Every structure is written in C-alpha cells, then in structure tokens.
C-alpha cells in the first residue's frame, strides 16, 4: 500500500484520469445549481445531471472531479451516524470520473482496477466486486480485466446494485469495489459477509454506475442510445486505507481538527465511544465551514436550517466536553490549513465564516437558556396535572425549536423524578421526516424540461443578440403549446384559444432570460404584414434554447407559424429601467464593502424595472449614518459618469483581474466581466447602462434583517427615484396640512403633540389606578366564607388580560388569606385569572387547577403556577355559571 496524504491522493486521482483524456472539472457549489429537488450537492454527478438527462452538452465527453458533498438533510441524511461509525460524514469529498456517451463498462472497470491496484497499491487479494444480479456483462469483465475469481464477484439485488435518479428516467446497474479490511474489523454477526452485514470490515471504496436504461412510466427499461458512466469514491475512505488507520477520523483530513479541539476542551481524544464528541465536532466544523463559504447562512428553513442544526449539534457535543463558551470559530483556520490549497475559499473567507459561526453560537447559547426555562415550565405542568411523564410532543418541541437533544431532556426529567415518552418523540420525528420527504418528492423540476427537450429535439440553440441591440430579425423554428402535455404546433391558430400557453422558439433573440437576479425582458414578436403578438416572458432550457411565452395579439389577424420571418423587439424603456437598477447593484455592492467592510458579500438580489433588492452578509443593523454614506457613495459614482465595459475572458483570468464572483453561482470556462471604470469589477451576465450617469440617481428606501447575519437593502433609481421623492413630498404636505403647520415645522409640531399625549396618558393612568383600587376594595369586601376560606369569584369589566391580572394582584394584596377567581368577557371570548394565597396552597388549593376547571366550563383551558394562573374560554354565556361553581371546587379540594 502506498502511504499518501489526502492532498496527494486527491491530486493522484485527478491526474490519473486527466492523463487518460478526462477534463479536470472544478467542484461545484454545495448549493445545487438550478435544481430544487436537492437540498445540497450530495454526489459528484449532481453538476452533470442535465448532461445525463440530455438537456445540456459539454465540450468534453470525459470528466474527473473532486466534488464537495453534504449529506445532512432530506433523503440523504447521515447526520445521526456521524461519529458512531468509521465512515459516515456530513461533509465529504467525492472523487469521480464520468463518461458522457464515450466509454462504458469495460473501460470504467479497467480504470478503477488499475488505479486502485497499480497506482494506490491496494492488495488485489483483498478486493471484491458486487454487481447487479442480472449484469452478466460486468461479471465477465471483472473476470477478464481484473482476474477476480467467481467467489469474489457477488451478485446483489436492486437495493444494493441498481441506481436510478427518480421513478422514471435514466437508470442502470452499478458495480461496487469492496475492500476487505480483515478479521480485526469484523462484526459479531455469525455470517459476516458482503451483502449480509454492514460492518466496518467490508469497506466500499468505489462505485461504478452504468446508466444504460430509460425507465418509462410503465416501469419498462428502454436502452439509452448513449450509455453513460457515473463513478464515485470517497476521499476520506480512500485515505483511511492508504494511511492504514481504522476510521476516516484518524486520517490527516480530521486529526488536526481533533487535536485543536483537545486544546480547547483540555481533554484527550480516544478513538472509542467516549471520543464521539470529538469526531462529531471535527466533522460538523468542516460542514459548517464549507456551507458558509458557499453562501449558506443559518436560518429556520431549508438549507439554513440544516446548517443551524449541524452547528448546534456540534455545540451540544462541545458542552459534553465541558466547553461552555463559543468555540467552533476557533476550528476554521485549522480547516483552512488542511483544505486551503484545494479550496481557497476556506482561507479567503475565513474571517467571514468565523463571524457567522460565532454569532450563531452565541445565539444558540441564549436559546439553550430559554429552552431550559421552557423545559422547567413543561415539567411544572406535568407535575401539576399529576403526571409522571413528559409527552413526546413536548420533548420534540424542545428538540426542534430549542435544539435540545432527547437525552438532555431525559436527564432534566430524571432529575425531577419524571420520564419522557420516547415513543411519542420518535413518532413526531418520523412525521417531520415524512413531511420533508413529501415536500421534496413533489417537485418534478426536470420533468417539464425533459418533455420540452423531446418536442424541440434536433433544433439548434438560440443565438442571444440582446447585448448588441433590442431588435432582431429572426426565423420561427418551432411553436410549442402546452400547460402539462407539451406538443409542437404549426401555427398559433392551432392552440392558445383555450387558454393553453404557446411558446415560440426562434434562431435568434434579443430577449434577456431571467438570471443573476435580473428579471426577463418583455416585448413583441411581429410577423411582417400579418400580426404582432406580446412576449410576456422568456425562459432558457439548459441546452441554450430560448422560449418566448406569447401573450395577447396586439395587431393584425394573421397567424404566426413555423418558418415565418419575424422581428423580435424588447420593450426599450423597461430594459433601460432594469439596466439602471442592475448597474446600481454593482455600485451598491462596492459601497457596502467600503463602508461596512470586506466581509460583506452578496447573497441574493432582485433587479426589476421598478426597484432593486440586494441581500448581503452583515451582523447588525445599519446606522442612519451608514445608510447615508452608502447612498452618497453610489450617487457620487453615478455623477462621475463612469464608463461601463464588458469583457469575455476565462474564469481564472477574471479572478486575476480582481473580478468578484458571487456565492452559489455556477460559472463556465468563459465568463463575462462587467467593469465600472476602476471602481468595480464583477462576473455578471446581466444587462447594464453604458455610463453610470444614465442611472440618474439612487435612493435607499428600506434596510432590514432577513435572517441571522443577513441584511437587505431595497432601493430605486432613475425615474422611479424621482417618483418616490414626489410621493414623499406629497405625504409630507398632507401630514403638515393635517397638523395645521408648515412642512418644515412638522417635527416640532409632532414633538409638541407627543408631549401633550404623554401627559394625558399619565392622567388617565392615575385615574384608572384610583378606579382599580376602589374596585379591588369592593371585591375584597365581597369575599364569602367557604369552609373557613375567603372566596372571591366575580365577573368584572376590564379591557384586557393585563388589566385583569393587575386587578387580581390588587385584591390579593388587600386580603390576608383567600382564593380569587376573576372573569371578563372580551370580543366574544372569556378571560380568566386565579390567585391563591400561600397559606391555602399548603392546604392543597392551587390556582392552576382552579382556573383550569372554570375555563373548561367556559369551553376553554389554561393553567399556571399554584399561586397565580390564567386561562381563556370560547363560551362567554357560561361565565356566570362557571364562577358560581368556584365555591364547590374549593370545598371538594379541602375535603
């Protein structure tokens, strides 16, 4: 076995395939490009999905990658196994080689065998192959190419050795290479064998997927005209073998992170079960670092929610090691030292990544404190109700909302003599997973594109002319009609009258397709001397075809048909408004970096004719002074009338030029750089003005938070900035008129009125206190003796629950001993409050139980502490009867 570092193994793999005609392709982002069916990139083939589906073509037919992957949510979720096994990770690198209709089974198997045995030095007598039980071709190839004997080629079923992207579409058998690590790794099963157990002895190191079929809706397998190969090998698993260690966590990908965690915890790592916390922290720190580097931010939904769960899980394990302060950001630099050469983002964005992690950790520590408070309330309620078990639904609430692991809830419960309904908790967890699965499985993002691709098969991509002009002569290549069932039509007269959408494909088009935050163009298509139709929107298919969505007929009565010579025109005023806003976003991005710091990165945008929206990373609200300075800097660049130039170049040269690439965007080998003089350079495919002076003016209209560490600015430019200023002037004039003052005196007038209002509120409050005190005295005097207990059960007239509680407190302060139950009607509902003095609590009377019984009689519920509780009901007509029963409840309790 050739001992190698992880960096050497990664490079060796890529160079091997590069020397055999494969294009080395950079890892794509962990945020899947244009694929809502995936939460994260979870396999090497994800970035080639459209190629495998026949929706896209690349200038190469062989590729090799080291792909960043995360499996921690949705269908592929390894989160709970991390740290428990020798091979599961949330973040990992998948080494892969791919053939797009080029070589097939024999070459793929030969490549894998040669690389593993001759280059990496795997012992041949410890390698096995699994194949699909029907794949006689692979069986024969393994014997002939690798010389594997029959007993080391294992046939397995669909579950293990058949791969498919979805219920329909490309699929095929796969063959896996298994490394036998020896008896020292075997499990306790009597039949410890491939296919019979899942222990650490049998390590899957390589998987070759042979996509040779297209499964139709009837389940039939139809041979594909160009079979493809998709392979994958975990770099971590490979290194565990090459470095002769038990676990991926013992490789150089993890050991420096574990050593740094030892320093932070002041504890020593062991590779047994007690070291699980170290392994989880090391894995999760890598996942958090790479997710944030690719633009994922902590939030309560989607990818951000998964990131938050991973980070909080690591923090909880940190607590188990005695680390009670934020610490995860301390691991980011170590990860950069390990991975920085292959993934420079981990170093370039380290400061930003650390800021995000630290802010989220601090937030979680506050959340844990809140969770402990809620757990205390849940325990109090269980005990008040006479129970001995925390319901599973409450345990799940603590887990899902406050990040409490179930074992922590069980520990807290045990300390108070309670247990936890573990089955109920697991059921709630299962329900959540099912909802998440259904939410993702319902998305058929590629079905529509696949059907359209069939209808448009054989036609060339559309030439985009929209950078050069807004009008283009073109030829109609095809008309497509459909909302669900897509079909080609010869003329517009064949479809569209029944509400069916009609799309036009032409050989050329000036219409910009929505992308990079910029909305698509609108305009017209004219048939010479025949008719003019509205173009409502445009969309692009992955292979470069642009579809124009046709709207109403604007002129003429003739048809539009295949082969027609046409003229496509973009609505010029709308395009210019969009261009103003798009160029302004570039100026805004630069100004934010100058005013707030280099940590600011764009995380999303919307560029429409009316306004722009810009989301960016920052950890606190902008001050009025910062907003003003940012606005001034953008307007200064506009008034300088800077030149805007575009250049096509390679991605590497663009980076050398200092051009900014945006989080989560996928860039090809050739990119477009938009340079605003020497002020700003960004990779961008959008449309822009030629000089910044064309923007006119820039005005920020809103700045707010849209998530942890994320802010949003909304702004207007050009004629919309003028309109916004006019509206503000009109509003000011209307307010001044209502206040009977001049516009310039509005502030002084408002201050004066607020002062008067506060004085009136003070007077009213004083009056209410006197009234409340008098009412409290009357209520205290109305107490009736029930078995030696003073009882006050009355309906009162108060505006809200705060006033009801306040009145109850006043009565309690007057009497030395007693039970108080007050009720009020409001908006067709009942509000209730109950108070019990301390001497009577000792005799068994509890406010929570009393108010709960009264509320039940009023069609509601509630509860609280023994000394004070509140409740509500839906039947105000039952209030008098319910209050009259309080004396009976007191008697029953005393007995």
For residue 372, being part of any structural domain is answered with no
Q: Strand 531-540 and strand 508-509: pairing?
A: unpaired
Beta bridge mates, 710? 617, 707
Q: Return the closest-CA partner of residue 888 out of 787, 761, 745, 742.
A: 787
Q: Is the residue at 741 inside a domain?
A: no
- Other Cβ atoms less than 10 A from the Cβ of 892: the count is 10
CA-closest candidate to residue 209, choices 65, 105, 93: 105
| Residue 541: CATH number of its domain | 2.40.30.130
Classify residue 750: in a domain, yes or no: no
Could you tell me if 651 and 756 are in contact, meaning their C-beta atoms sit under 8 angstroms apart?
no
User: Higher pLDDT residue, 885 or 201?
Assistant: 885
Is position 485 within any domain? Answer: yes
- Burial readout 604-625 (b: 16 or more C-beta within 10 A, e: otherwise): bbbbbbebbbbbbbbbeebeee
**Same domain for 278 and 343?**
yes
Same domain, 61 and 193: yes
Residue 771 lies in a domain: no
Determine the average pLDDT of the residues in 320-337.
93
* Segments forming the whole domain that contains residue 323: 254-367
Domain end residue (candidates: 729, 747, 765): 729
pLDDT of residue 656: 84
Predicted confidence band of residue 78 (pLDDT cuts 50, 70, 90): low
476 in any annotated domain = yes
- Do 487 and 535 lie in one domain? The reply is yes
pTM exceeds cut of 0.75:
no
Give the pLDDT confidence score for residue 79 in this predicted structure. Answer: 63
pLDDT grade for 375, boundaries at 50, 70 and 90: confident
Q: Does 634 share its domain with 500? A: no
Number of structural domains (the chain) is 6
Residue 543 has phi, psi (to 5 degrees) of: -90, 10
| pLDDT confidence of residue 13 | 96
> In this predicted structure, what is the pLDDT of residue 260?
96
pLDDT at 85 (0 to 100):
65
Task: State residue 826's pLDDT score.
Answer: 85
- Same domain for 725 and 787, yes or no, is no
Q: Say whether both 602 and 709 belong to one domain.
A: yes
**Are residues 138 and 191 located together in one domain of the fold?**
yes
Statement to judge: residues 270 and 146 lie in one domain: no
As given in the structure block, the two tokens for residue 709 are 């560490």
Q: What average pLDDT does range 143-156 have in this prediction?
A: 93
CA distances for 800 relative to 750, 797, 829, 860, angstroms:
29, 9, 11, 17
Q: Is the pLDDT of residue 44 over 70?
A: yes
Distance, in Å, from the CA atom of 821 to the CA atom of 830, rounded to the nearest integer, reads 13
CA separation for the pair 525, 566 (Å, rounded): 7
pLDDT band at 451 (very low <50, low <70, confident <90, very high): confident
Instruction: Please check whether residue 753 lies inside any domain of the structure.
Output: no
Mean pLDDT (the chain) is 88
Task: Tell me whether residue 262 is in a domain.
Answer: yes
pLDDT for res 666: 63
Least confident of 113-127, 160-174, 863-877: 160-174
Percent of the chain with pLDDT over 70: 93
User: Do residues 699 and 789 share a domain?
Assistant: no
Question: By the 8 A CB rule, do 588 and 614 touch?
Answer: yes
Q: In this predicted model, what pLDDT tens digit does every residue of 809-841 receive, in sequence order?
A: 999 999 989 999 999 998 889 999 999 999 999
More confident call, 38 vs 171:
171
Q: What is the pLDDT of residue 440?
A: 47
Q: Which of 570, 597, 625 is the last residue of a domain?
A: 570
Q: Is the pLDDT of residue 484 over 80?
A: no
pLDDT per residue as tens digits for the range 252-279 = 999 999 999 999 999 999 888 778 889 9
Indicate whether 480 pLDDT > 50: yes
Q: Is the pLDDT at 300 greater than 80, yes or no?
A: no
Does one domain contain both 107 and 200?
Answer: yes
pLDDT of 486 higher than 80: no
Q: Is the pLDDT of residue 443 over 50?
A: no
Question: What is the pLDDT at residue 446?
Answer: 57
Q: Are residues 68 and 209 in the same domain?
A: yes
Burial class (CB in 10 A: 0-12, 13-18, 19+), 562: middle
Is the domain of 489 the same as that of 534? yes
Which of 246, 277, 311 finishes a domain? 246
Determine how β-strand 471-481 pairs with β-strand 502-506: antiparallel
pLDDT in tens, 613-662: 999 988 889 999 999 999 999 999 999 999 999 999 988 898 888 888 77
């Amino acid at each position: 076995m050739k001992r190698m570092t992880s960096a050497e193994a990664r490079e060796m793999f890529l160079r091997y395939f590069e020397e055999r005609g494969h294009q080395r392709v950079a890892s794509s982002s962990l945020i899947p490009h244009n694929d809502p069916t995936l939460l994260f990139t979870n396999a090497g083939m994800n970035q080639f999905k459209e190629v495998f589906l026949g929706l896209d073509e690349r200038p190469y037919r062989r590729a090799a990658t080291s792909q960043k992957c995360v499996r921690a949510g949705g269908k592929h979720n390894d989160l709970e196994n991390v740290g428990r096994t020798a091979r599961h990770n949330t973040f990992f690198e998948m080494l892969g080689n791919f053939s797009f209709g080029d070589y097939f089974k024999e070459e793929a198997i030969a490549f894998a065998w040669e690389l593993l045995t001759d280059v990496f030095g795997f012992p041949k007598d410890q390698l096995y192959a699994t194949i699909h039980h029907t794949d006689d071709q692979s069986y024969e190839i393994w014997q002939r190419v690798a010389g594997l004997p029959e007993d080391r080629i294992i046939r397995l079923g669909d579950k293990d050795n058949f791969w498919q992207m979805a219920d329909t579409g490309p699929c095929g058998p796969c063959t896996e290479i298994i490394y036998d690590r020896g008896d020292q790794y075997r499990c306790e099963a009597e039949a410890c064998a491939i296919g019979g157990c899942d222990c650490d002895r049998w390590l899957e190191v390589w998987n070759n997927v042979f996509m040779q079929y297209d499964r139709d809706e009837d389940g039939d397998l139809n041979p594909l005209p160009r079979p493809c190969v998709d392979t994958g090998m975990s770099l971590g698993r490979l290194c565990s073998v090459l470095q002769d260690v038990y676990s991926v966590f013992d490789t150089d990908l993890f050991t420096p992170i574990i050593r740094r965690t030892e320093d932070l915890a002041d504890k020593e790592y062991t590779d047994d079960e007690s070291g699980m916390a170290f392994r989880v922290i090391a894995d999760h720190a890598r996942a958090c670092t790479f997710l944030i580097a690719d633009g994922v931010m902590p939030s309560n939904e989607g990818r951000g929610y998964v990131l938050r769960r991973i980070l909080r899980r690591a923090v909880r394990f940190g607590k188990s090691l005695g680390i009670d302060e934020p610490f995860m950001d301390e691991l980011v630099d170590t990860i950069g030292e390990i991975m920085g050469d292959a993934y420079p983002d981990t170093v370039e964005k380290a400061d930003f990544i650390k800021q995000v992690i630290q802010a989220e950790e601090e937030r979680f520590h506050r959340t844990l404190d809140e969770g402990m408070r809620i757990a205390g309330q849940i325990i109090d309620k269980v005990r008040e109700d006479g129970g001995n078990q925390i319901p599973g639904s409450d345990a799940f609430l603590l887990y899902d909302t406050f990040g409490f692991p179930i074992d922590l809830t069980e520990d807290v419960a045990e300390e108070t003599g309670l247990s936890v309904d573990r089955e109920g908790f697991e059921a709630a967890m299962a329900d959540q997973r099912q909802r998440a699965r259904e939410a993702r499985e319902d998305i058929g993002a590629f079905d529509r594109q696949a059907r359209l691709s069939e209808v448009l098969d054989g036609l060339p991509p559309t030439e985009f002319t929209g950078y050069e002009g807004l009008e283009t002569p073109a030829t109609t290549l095809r008309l497509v009609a459909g909302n669900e069932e897509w079909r080609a039509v010869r003329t517009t007269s064949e479809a569209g009258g029944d509400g069916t959408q009609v799309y036009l494909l032409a050989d050329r088009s000036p219409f910009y397709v929505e992308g990079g935050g910029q909305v698509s163009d609108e305009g017209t298509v004219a048939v010479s001397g025949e008719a003019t139709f509205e173009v409502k929107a445009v969309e692009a298919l992955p292979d470069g075809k642009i579809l124009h969505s046709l709207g109403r007929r604007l002129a003429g009565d003739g048809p539009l048909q295949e082969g027609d010579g046409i003229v496509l025109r973009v609505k010029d005023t709308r395009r210019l408004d969009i261009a103003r806003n798009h160029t302004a976003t570039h100026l805004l991005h630069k100004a934010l970096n100058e005013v707030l710091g280099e940590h600011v990165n764009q995380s999303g945008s919307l560029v429409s004719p009316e306004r722009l929206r810009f989301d960016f990373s920052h950890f606190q609200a902008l001050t009025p002074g910062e907003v003003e300075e940012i606005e001034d800097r953008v307007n200064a660049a506009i008034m300088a009338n800077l030149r805007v130039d575009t250049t096509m170049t390679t991605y590497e040269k663009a980076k050398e030029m200092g051009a900014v690439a945006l989080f989560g965007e996928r860039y090809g080998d050739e990119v477009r750089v938009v340079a605003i003089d020497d002020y700003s350079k960004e990779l961008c495919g959008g449309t822009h003005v030629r000089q910044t002076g064309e923007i006119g003016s820039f005005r920020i209209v809103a700045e707010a938070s849209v998530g942890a560490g994320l802010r949003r600015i909304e702004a207007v430019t050009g004629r919309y900035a003028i309109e916004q200023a006019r509206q503000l002037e009109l509003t000011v004039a209307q307010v001044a008129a209502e206040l009977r003052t001049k516009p310039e005196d509005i502030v002084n007038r408002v201050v004066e009125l607020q002062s008067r209002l506060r004085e009136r509120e003070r007077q009213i409050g004083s009056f209410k206190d006197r009234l409340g005190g008098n009412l409290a005295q009357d209520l205290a005097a109305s107490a009736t003796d029930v078995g030696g207990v003073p009882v006050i059960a009355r309906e009162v007239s108060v505006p809200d629950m705060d006033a009801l509680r306040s009145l109850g407190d006043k009565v309690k302060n007057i009497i030395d001993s007693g039970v108080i139950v007050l009720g009020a009607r409001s908006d067709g509902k009942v509000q209730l409050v109950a108070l019990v003095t301390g001497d009577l609590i000792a005799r068994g009377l509890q406010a929570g139980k009393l108010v709960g019984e009264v509320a039940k009689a009023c069609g509601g519920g509630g509860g609280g502490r023994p000394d004070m509780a509140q409740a509500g009901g839906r039947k105000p007509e039952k209030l008098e009867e319910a209050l009259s029963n309080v004396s009976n409840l007191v008697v029953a309790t005393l007995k």
